[in-house]
């Protein structure tokens, strides 16, 4: 009986260790993703600061209308990227649908061929 309980304890311990390893891996991935997002934000802010320094060095006016023009350019760029991304997504969806239709057609042709051989 003691051996059976020992065996059960080992099984439970192993399951707990496996679950902990799984959770740790998930946490590591989330932390890596979080750091990647922070790095991206930091990089974007650094680029903005570099651009501001370049504007100052070139003697450009940093008045609101100038900043608005830069902001408008950034928004336009984001919208262009978003439109391109949406188009790529639509093309990918169409490609998946086409693949599914081709597979369905191939299956139907296989069924008709099998029925023809069975007659």
Domain check: are 72 and 114 in the same one? Answer: yes
Query: Of 16, 41, 62, which residue is a domain's last?
Result: 62
Query: Of 62, 86, 110, which residue is a domain's last?
Result: 62
Domain check: are 72 and 37 in the same one? Answer: no
Domain check: are 31 and 74 in the same one? Answer: no
pLDDT in tens, 57-89: 887 766 655 566 667 777 777 788 888 888 888
Range of 112's domain?
64-119
pLDDT in tens, 25-60: 999 999 999 998 888 888 888 888 888 788 778 877
Query: Which of 34 and 111 is assigned the larger pLDDT?
Result: 34
The burial class, CB within 10 Å (0-12 / 13-18 / 19+), for 70 is middle
Domain check: are 52 and 73 in the same one? Answer: no
Q: What pTM value is reported for the model?
A: 0.38
Identify whether the C-beta of residue 66 lies closer than 8 Å to the C-beta of residue 60: yes
């Amino acid at each position: 009986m003691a051996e059976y309980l020992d065996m059960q304890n080992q099984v439970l311990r192993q399951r707990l260790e496996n679950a902990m390893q799984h959770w740790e891996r998930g946490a590591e991935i989330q932390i890596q993703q979080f750091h990647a997002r922070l790095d991206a934000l930091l990089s974007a802010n650094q680029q903005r600061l570099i651009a501001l320094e370049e504007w100052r060095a070139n003697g450009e006016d940093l008045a609101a209308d100038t900043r608005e023009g830069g902001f408008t350019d950034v928004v336009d760029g984001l919208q262009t990227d978003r439109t391109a991304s949406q188009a790529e997504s639509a093309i990918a969806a169409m490609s998946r649908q086409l693949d599914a239709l081709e597979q369905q057609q191939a299956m139907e042709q296989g069924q008709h061929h099998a029925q023809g051989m069975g007659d």
